Structure 1
Amino acid sequence: MQKAERRLMEPISGAAIEKTQHAIQRSTKKAGAYFQSILFHKGLLYMFIGFLLGRAVILTEILPFALPFFGVLFLMKKDKALIGALSLAAGGLTISLETSLIITCHLLFFLFLQKAGAFIFKDRVRTLPFIILLAVAGTRIASTFVLYGTISSYDGMMAGVEAGLAFILTLIFLQSIPLISSPRYKQSLKSEEIICLMILIASVMTGLTGVSYMDFKAEHVFSRYMVLLFAFIGGSSIGCTVGVVTGLILSLANVGNLYQMSLLAFSGLLGGLLKEGQKIGAAAGLLIGSMLLSLYGGGTSDFMATMVESTAAIVLFFLTPKGITASLAKHIPGTNEHAMEQQLYATRIRDVTAHRVDQFSGVFEALSQSFNAFYEKGEADSARETDLFLSTITEKTCHHCYKKERCWVNNFQDTYDLMTQVTNETSANTYSVNRKLKKEFHAHCSKATQVEVAIEQELNEFKANQKLNKQVQESRRLVAEQLLGVSKVMEDFSREIRRERENHFLLEEQILEALQNFGVEIGHVEIYSLEQGNVDMEMSIPFCQGHGECEKIIAPMLSDILEEQVIVKHEECGLYPNGFCHVSFGSAKSFKVDIGAAHAAKGGGLVSGDSYSMIDLGVGKYAIAISDGMGNGARAQFESNETIKLLEKILQSGIDEKVAIKTVNSILSLRTTDEVYSTLDLAIVDLQDATCKFLKIGSTPSFIKRGDKVIKIQASNLPIGIIEDFEVDVVGEQLKAGDLLIMMSDGIFEGPKHVENHEIWMKRKVSELETNDPQEVADLIMEEVIRTRSGKIDDDMTIIAAKIEHNTPKWAAISTNRYFQKKKQSVS
C-alpha cells in the first residue's frame, strides 16, 4: 500500500505528459473531423439553414428566401437537395400550414420549370435566377387566385416584389453558399463575397424572428454577436458593413427593428476601432453603441432589454474559441492572419518553384556527367582501337595464308608486336627508312608486301575515323561543360528564389519617422533588403520640381542611418495621381570604372574588323571586351561583332566566363567550314573589391599603369574559331583606385613602324603619359601610333582605357550624424 502511494506521489515523467498531449491532440482532431463530417457531408448545416430560411418572412407575407436556397442547393449539391426541401417545409410549418404549403408549391413548380428548361437551355447557372423568378411569381399569383378567386393590383405588385427579391437573392446565394458548403475556404474573400455572405447569414437570422425569452429576442442577440465577431476580426470597416447589412435585412422582417440597423452599424464601427484592446475592447464598443442608441432610439423602457441582449452577445463572443476567429481572419483581406496566410502561401509557391528549378538543375548536371562519362577515354580504349584495326588487316591478308596457325596461334605475341610496330611506323611515315624492322617483318611474314599495302590502305580510313571520333568526343565534352554551366546558373537561381523577403516593418517606421522629423515629407517606405552591399528600398516623395532632393538629401541621410553608401538607382517623377514620385535606392558600389575608347578602320574607312563592348553584367561586375576578326572589311567585322554579341548574351545570363568563351568558340568553329577566326580580349572587373579577371584569346597584351609602374597582362590562348577544343587560361590581377587599364587590338600594339620590340615601346609610351583621363589616354596612344606611320592606318585599330576609382556619390559629403546618432542604433 505504501509503495502504491509513493508511486502516486511521484511526479509524472515528461514522456508521459507528451504522450498524453499527443493523445489529446489526436482526440481533438478526430472529434473535429467527425463534426465536419456530420456538418457538411451528412447535411446538418443545410438542414439548419433550410429550417431557418423556411421561417424567414418579410413584410408579414413575402417568402423570398426559401426557393433561392433550394435552387442553388439543387444546382450545386444535388444529393443534399431533398434534405434542404424537407427542412424548408418544416421551417414554414412552424409559422403556419399555409406558409409550408406555399413553400412546397414553390419547390414543385421550380422542379417542373427546371426540367422543362433543361431541354432548351444548356447553361443552368445563368438560367437559374430566371427560372426562380418565374416559379415564385407564378406560384404567388396562382395561390392568390385559388384562395381568393381574384387577383388585385396589390397582389400583382406583391408577387412582383417577391419574385424580384428571389431573383436578387439567387444571385447572392450563388456567391455565398459555395463559401460555406465546404470546410476548405478560398485563400481570401473579396469585398463582394463578404457582403454576400453577410446577407446569407442575416437571412438565416431572419428565421429567428419570433423566437424570444421574456423580452429578449434571439435575432437581436445573434445579430449583435455576428457584428461583434466580424468587427473584432476585420476592423471598423467590416464591422460597420456587417451591421448595416444585417440591420437592413432584420428591419425588412420586422419594421420595429428599423433602429437596429443604426445600433448594429454604430456598434460595429466602435467595436472595430477598439479591437486593439482585444476582445474586451471590441465588447466595450458594442456596449457603448448599444447604450447610446438604445437611449436615443427606444428610450429607457427598452434600455434594460437592449443591454441584456448585448451582454448575451458578448458572452457568446467570449465563448467563441480563438481558433474560429483566427480561421475566419485568414480569409478577410487586411487582417494580420490573412497577411501571414498569404505569406505562407507565397512561401509554399516559392519553395515549389525552387524545388522544380533544383530538379531541372539536377537533370542538367546528370546530363553533364553522362556526357563526361562518354568523354573519358583511357589506354584500354586505345588498345581496343588498335586491335580492331589489326583484325581488319588480318582478315584481308592472313585469313587465307597457310602460315596462319603458326603466326597467330604459336607465335601470337611476336606477330602482334611486329604488326603493331609496322602500323605505328607507317602512320609516322618512317617505316620505309626503318630497314631493320622491315627486314624482320619480311622474315617473319610470308605475305609481308601484301600486309604492308593493306596497312597503308586502311590507315587513311582509320585516321579519318579517329579524327571524327575525336571531334565527337570534344563536342560531347563541350556540351557537358555547357550543361554543367546551365546547372550552376539554375542552382544559383534556386538559391535566390529561396531568399525570403524579410519583414522590415519596424525599420520602415523608424526610417519614415526619422526622415519626417528632419523635415522631409515621405509618402511611404518599402524595404526589400538591408544586406551589406545590397541595400534595396523604395519610397514615394512629393515632386521636387527638379531640385534633386532624393540625391542631395534623402540618399545621404539614408547612408548615415544605415552606415553604408546609398544612392538613387531609379526615379520616376509624378508617377502617382497625387503628384508623388517613385524612387528606388540601393547600395553604391565601392569602385567605378571610367571608360575612354578610340577606334579607326583600315585606311580611314567606315567598316572595321574590330568590335568592342562595355557590358554591365548586373551583379556588381563590369566587363570590357575587344574582338578582332581575321583580316579586314565586312567579313572580319561580322566575325568580331558576332563574337561580342554572343559573349554579351551568355555572360549576362550568369554563366561562368570560361564556359561562355568555350561556348562562343564552339558556335563560331562549327558555324562555317571557312578558315575564319577572331581574337578576344576580355576583362571582368568586380566593382566591390576591384579584382579583375583577364581572358585573352589570341589577343595582344594589356597594360596597367599604376603611378610610374607599368604592369603587362598576357596569356597564351589560340584565337576563337580555329579549333574546337582549347583550354582558357585566366589571369587574375588586383586593381587599385587610380589604376589605368589599357586594352588594345593588334593594330595598335603592332602598329608602330620601325619598332623592333613593340612591348617595350608601348610600356614606354604608357609610362610617359601625363594625363589619367581615359579618353585622352586612348586618343593620345592612337595618335602616336598613326604618327609613326606618317598618318597612314594600315590595320584596324581599337584601344580602350579604363580608370578604376573609388565610387563616391556627388552628395556623399553631406552628413547628418548629429541628428541620427541615436537613430542608427535603433534601426541597425
Structure 2
Amino acid sequence: MEKVERNFMDPIRDVNFAKSKIKLANPFTNFQAKMETFFLKKGYILLLIGFLLGRSLILAKLTPFSVPFFAAVYLVRKDRAPLALIGLIAGAATLSVADAVSTFVLTVLFLLSYKATKRWLKNEVKVVPFYVFFVLFSGSLVEGYIVSGKFTLYELMMAGIESSLGFILTLIFLQGLPLLSISKRRQSLKTEEIVCLIILLASVMTGTIGWTMYDISVDHVLARYLVLLFAFVAGATVGSTVGVVTGLIFSLASISSFTHMSLLAFSGLLGGLLKEGKKVGVSIGLLIATLLIGMYGDGNAALVKTILESAVAIALLFLTPKTLTSKLAKYIPGTLEHSQEQQQYMRKMRDVTSQRVAQFSHVFQALSNSFNHQSEPTEWNETDRELDYFLSNVTEKTCQLCHRKEQCWTRNFNETYEFMKEIMLDMEQKGGEVSQKLYREWGVHCVKPKKVVEAMQQELTYYQANQKLKRQVKESRKLVADQLLGVSEIMGNFAKEIQRERENHHKQEELILEAMQDFGIEIEQVEIYSLEQGNVDIDMTIPDYQGHGECEKLIAPILSDILGETIIVNSEEISPFGHDYCHVTFRSAKAYSIEVGVAHAAKDGGLISGDSYSTTELGCGKYAIAISDGMGNGERAHIESQETLQLLEKILQSGIEERVAIKSVNSVLSLRTTDEIFSTLDLAMVDLQNASAKFLKIGSTPSFVKRGNKVLKIQASNLPMGIIEDFEVDVVSEQLRAGDLLIMMSDGVFEGPKHVENHDLWMKRKIKELKTEEPQGIADVIMEEVIRSRSGYIDDDMTVVVAKVKHNTPKWASIPVPQFKQKAN
C-alpha cells in the first residue's frame, strides 16, 4: 500500500516541483505578463501615449495629434476613450492651460458632431478623418480670431496645415493603434502597417522633446534606441526606413533636430548591415554613424554629448530581453523568426491535415472490416436456421393435418428430421429428384411420402433462389470490403506523404548553382525536394531561355554526374512571352523503358472496331498495357470495350491494387445494364524499376513472351467481365528481361488463322520465325500473317500490341564535374 501511494504521489510532486522551478527560473516572464495585462489589456498604455501626444508640437506651434488620437481610440477601443482623453488633457496642460482647454473643447466638438450624424453614416472609418479635418480647421480659425481679432491669410494657412496633418494622422493612428492596444495580433504586418506604427511611435517620442537627464536629451536617446531595435530585428531596409521616418517627425517637431535625421537614417542603415554581428554589430553601426555625423557639430562638447546619448541607447538595447525582440521579429516579414513562425504554422496545418486523412483511412478500414466480418459460428447457425425454416414450411403443408403427426414429430422427432434433411440434400445434388432407395425408406416411415416429396420439391425452388441471393449479397459485401480497404490504403499512404517534410538542401543547391555557373549556364533558382536514390526531384528556373535543348543536353547530364544516377527532364514550362524564363523539373530515370507497337483492324475492313487497347505509364513507376474486346462488333462493342479500359485506367492511376481494380470494373459492368454485353480484358503491369510483370486475363486469349529463340506462353482462365458479379482473378507473374518482346492479342488474331487446329503451336511458330526486333514491325507481320491465312478476309475485330523491354539508356552521356566533387568532400 505504501508503494502504491508513493507511485501515485510522484507525478504530483514532479508537477509542483516543475512549477516552482519555472517560477524561480523565469521571474521576468511573470513580470512581463503582468505588464502586458496592465498596459495592453486594461488599456493604460493609451493614457501614457495620450499624455505624450498631448504635449507634442509641430513647427513649435501646432498641436495636431490630440483630436486624431482621440478619434482613433474612440473607434478602435471605445471603452478606453476616457483614459486617452485624460492623458491628452494632462499632456496639453504641461504646455499651457489654454492648450488643455483647447484640447478638451475640440474633442467635445468632435464627439457632438460625430454622434449627431452617426445614424446616417455607412462607413465610419472612411468618414471620421473628415470630421477631424473640419473640427481642427474650425477650431484653429476660431482660436486665431480670438487671439488677433481678425482672419488673416497666415492664420488661414496654419489652420489648413494643422487640419491636413490631423486628417493624415487619423488614418495613420487607425492603422497603428490596433498593433499596440490589442495583445492578440496576427502573425505578419504589412509594410504600410509598419510605417504607420513607426510614425505613431515617433510622434509619441516627440512629446519628450525638451526632457533632459544629466544633460542628455531623452528624445534623442529614445529615437536612437527605436532605430537600433528595428535594425537589430529586421535588418538594413527596415532600420533605415525607421531612421528616416523618425528623423523626419523629429525635424518637423523641432528645427534643432533636423541634423538628427541624418544620424538616425545612417545608423539604421549601418546597424542593419551589421545585423549578423548581433547587438554588438548594430551598436557599432550606431557609434560609427554618431562619430561621422558628430564631426560636423559645434565642437568637442557636442560630440561628447551625442556619443553619450548613443551609449545610453546602446545600453537600453542590451537591456532589452531576447523574448521581446523575438516576439517583435515574428510580426515583420523577411525575418528568420517570421519564417520560422510561418513554417511552424504550415507544419501544424500539415499535421492536422495528415491526422484528418489518417482518420478517414481508419474509418474506411473499419468499414472494410465491418463488411468483411463473417464469423464461422454465425454461418453455421444461419445454415441450421434456414434448414429449419425449410422443413417448417414443408411440414406446414403436409404434416399439419396428418393423423400420424404425433407419432412422427413427438415420439420420433430426430428420425423424422434426419430423414427429411437427407431427402432435401439428395434433391439438391440430383436436381430435384430423390433416389429410389431413399424414397422407399421414406415410404416405410411416412404414410404420405409422395405428397411430402412434392412439397419439398416445390419449396426447394424458393430455398435455392434465396441461397443464391444471399451468396450474391455476400460476394457484393466482399467486393465492397476490398474496395474500402484499397481506399484506406491509399489514404494511409497519402497521410504518410503529407508528413514527409521537405529536407533542407541549401548546401547542395548552392553547389549545383556554382557548378552550373562554371559551365556558363545561368540559373536563377534551384529547389531540391528529394535526393533519394531513384527518386530525385529537382526544380530549376532558367532565365533568358533560348529553347535549344539546354536542359536535356547540358543540365541533365551535369546533374547525372553530380548525383551519380541518370537524371532526365520530366517537364518544361516555358514562358509564353518570348522565352523569358523556363521552369524545369528533373527526375530520376527509370531502369527500364517500354517501346510499343500496335496493329489493329475492324471486321470486314470497317472503321469502328469492337477492340480497344491502352498503353500508359502510371504514376507509381509501372507501365500498363491492356486490350479489351467488347462482345460482338461495331460501335456498341467499341463503346463497351473503351469504357472498360477508361474505367480501369482511372482506378489504377488512383493507386488501388490490380485485383481490386478489375473486380471494381467488373462490378460496375455487371450492375449497370441488363443487356448481355460483356467484355474481355487482357492486362499486363510492368514495373519499370525491375522489369517484373503481372498478367491478369479476364476471358482473354494467351499472351506470348519472345526471349531470344524461346517463346513463353502466358495464360489464365477467367470468365469475361460483366457475366457474374464476383470471381477470383488469377494473376500470373513473370520476370521480364531487357530485350524481351511481349506480344498480346485479341481473339480475332489468336483464333483467326483458317484451317488451324492448334492455335498455340501456330502462333508460337510464327513468333519464333520473326526476323525483326522492332515492336511495330512484329505487330504488322503477325496481323498480315493472320489476314493472309483467311485469304484476305477479316472475319473479326483484330488487335495486336507488342511491347519491347529495354534498358533505359540516356540520350546524352553525363558531363563530369570534378570541381563539385572536391567541394562536396
Question: What TM-score comes out, normalization by structure 2 length?
Answer: 0.94
Counterpart Cα distance in 2 of 1:513 and 1:341: 30
* Mapped partners of 2:74, 2:411: distance in 1: 96
Q: Which residue of 2 aligns with 1:206?
A: 206
Give the AA of the match of 1:410.
Answer: R
Looking at structure 2, the residues matched to 473 and 216 of structure 1 have their Cα atoms a distance apart, in angstroms, of 92
* 1:255 corresponding residue in structure 2: 255
Whole-angstrom distance in 2 between the partners of 1:353 and 1:180: 34
Q: Is the 8 A contact 2:427 2:434 kept in 1?
A: no
Q: CA contact under 8 A between 2:41 and 2:183: conserved in structure 1?
A: no
Relative to 1, partners in 2 of residues 1:285 and 1:431: Cα closer, same or farther, differing over 3 Å?
closer
| CA distance in structure 1 between the aligned counterparts of 2:582 and 2:245, rounded to whole angstroms | 40
- The Cα shift of 1:436 comes to 3.1
Q: After the TM superposition, which residues 402-413 of structure 1 pair with which residues of structure 2 at under 5 Å, given as runs?
A: 402-413=403-414
Deviation string, structure 1 residues 798-828 (Cα, Å, up to 9, x no partner): 111111111121112x4315444424x44xx
- Deviation of 1:301 after TM superposition, in Å, equals 5.2
Return the offset for 1:214: 4.7
1:321 lines up with 2:326 in the alignment: no
The alpha carbon displacement at 1:147 in A equals: 5.2
SS in 1 for 2:619: coil
659-668 or 518-527, larger mean C-alpha shift: 518-527
Offset of residue 160 of structure 1: 2.5
Whether contact under 8 Å (1:590, 1:688) holds in the other structure is yes
Give the superposition deviation at 1:106: 2.5
Look up the equivalent residue of 2:481 and give its one-letter code.
A
Indicate the SS of the match to 1:131.
helix
Partner of 1:778: 779
Residue pair 1:543, 1:573 contacting (<8 A) in 2 also: no
**1-structure distance, mates of 2:430, 2:752:** 42
**SS of equivalent to 2:373:** helix
Q: In the TM superposition, what are the counterparts of 1:520-535 in structure 2 within 5 Å?
A: 520-535=521-536
Amino acid corresponding to residue 480 of structure 1 in structure 2: A
SS in 1 for 2:302: helix
Q: Which residue of 2 aligns with 1:483?
A: 484
* C-alpha distance in structure 2 between counterparts of 1:65 and 1:244, whole Å: 20
Change over 3 Å in CA distance of 1:816–1:397 after alignment to 2: same
| Residue 113 (structure 1) aligns with | 113
Deviation, 1:66, is: 2.1
Contact 2:545 2:579 in 1 (8 A): no
- Call closer, same or farther: CA 1:433–1:544 in 2, change over 3 Å: closer
Contact 2:594 2:806 (C-alpha < 8 Å) held by counterparts: yes
**Structure 1 residue 530: Cα displacement:** 1.0
> Following the alignment from structure 1 to structure 2, what is the Cα–Cα distance between the partners of residues 461 and 140?
104
Q: Which residue of 1 aligns with 2:663?
A: 662
Tell me what 1:620 maps to: 621
Deviation at 1:596, TM superposition (A): 0.8
1:586-611 alpha-carbon deviations (Å, 9 max, x no partner): 21111111111111111111110100
Distance 1:473 1:118, change over 3 A: farther
Tell me how far apart the structure 1 counterparts of residues 280 and 658 of structure 2 sit (CA, whole Å): 64
Sort the Cα spacing of 1:56 and 1:783 in 2 relative to 1 into closer, same or farther, 3 A: same
How does 1:414-813 map onto structure 2 within 5 Å?
414-429=415-430, 432-543=433-544, 545-574=546-575, 579-812=580-813
Cα offset, 1:375, TM superposition? 9.1
Structure 2 CA distance, aligned partners of 1:113 and 1:298?
51
Amino acid of the structure 1 residue aligned with 2:238? I
**2:610 touches 2:629 (CA, 8 Å); kept in 1?**
yes
1:263–1:293 contact (8 Å) kept in structure 2? yes
Read off the aligned partner of 1:534 and give its amino acid letter.
Answer: N
Distance 1:33 1:544, change over 3 A: closer
* Cα distance, 1:491–1:472 mapped onto 2, change above 3 Å: same
* CA pair 22-216 structure 1, distance change in 2 beyond 3 A: closer
Kindly tell me: are residues 16 and 633 of structure 1, through their superposed partners in 2, closer, same or farther at Cα, counting changes over 3 Å? Answer: closer
Match of 2:66 in 1: 66
How does 1:277-292 map onto structure 2 within 5 Å? 277-292=277-292
What SS does the aligned partner of 1:534 have?
A: coil
Using the TM superposition, give the Cα deviation of residue 20 of structure 1 relative to its aligned residue in structure 2, in angstroms. 6.5
Structure 2 residue aligned with 1:9:
none
Residue 384 of structure 2 is matched in structure 1 by: 383
Offset, 1:315: 0.9
Change (3 A) 1:699 1:185: same
Opposite residue 333 of structure 1, the aligned amino acid is P
Structure 1 residue 625, shift from structure 2 partner = 0.8
Task: Give the equivalent residue in structure 1 for 2:166.
Answer: 166
Which letter maps to 2:158?
M
Structure 2 residue 356 is matched with structure 1 residue 346: no
Q: Deviations over 1:515-558 (max 9, x none)?
A: 21233322222211111111111223343533322222221111
Specify whether residues 268 and 432 from structure 1 end up closer, same or farther in structure 2 by C-alpha distance, changes over 3 A only. Answer: closer
Q: Distance in 2 between matches of 1:578 and 1:315?
A: 55
Query: Structure 1 residues 423 and 142 mapped into 2: Cα distance closer, same or farther (>3 Å)?
Result: farther
Q: How many residues are treated as equivalent by the alignment?
A: 811
SS of the residue corresponding to residue 207 of structure 1 reads helix
Q: Are 2:612 and 2:627, in contact at CA under 8 Å, matched by a contact in 1?
A: yes
* Contact in 1 for aligned 2:426/2:434 (Cα 8 Å): no
Name the structure 1 match of 2:6: none
Cα distance in 1, alignment partners of residues 229 and 617 from structure 2: 56
Q: Percent of aligned pairs with the same residue?
A: 56
**Counterpart of 2:184?**
184
3-state SS of 1:801 partner: strand
Amino acid across the alignment from 2:750: F
Q: Which amino acid aligns with 1:245?
A: V
Per-residue deviation at 1:455? 2.9
The answer to whether the Cα contact below 8 Å between 1:677 and 1:720 also exists between their aligned partners in 2 is yes
Worse-matched range after superposition: 632-641 or 453-462: 453-462
Q: What does residue 219 of structure 2 align with?
A: 219
Tell me by how many angstroms 1:76 deviates: 2.3
Distance 1:15 1:192, change over 3 A: closer
Change (3 A) 1:574 1:301: farther
1:685-728 CA-to-partner distances (Å, cap 9, x unmatched) read 11112111111111111111121222222122221111111111
Q: Which amino acid aligns with 2:172?
A: I
Residue type of the alignment partner of 1:75: L
**Residue type of the partner of 1:520?**
I
Q: Which runs of 5+ in 1 are unaligned?
A: 1-13
Gaps of 5+ in 2: 1-13
Residue type of the partner of 1:345? Y
Q: What is the one-letter code of the residue matched to 1:392?
A: N
Displacement of 1:146 in angstroms is 4.9
Letter aligned with residue 677 of structure 1: F
What RMSD, in angstroms, separates the aligned Cα atoms of the two structures? Answer: 2.4
Q: Does the CA-based 8 Å contact 2:602-2:610 persist in structure 1? A: yes
How many angstroms does 1:29 deviate by? 4.4
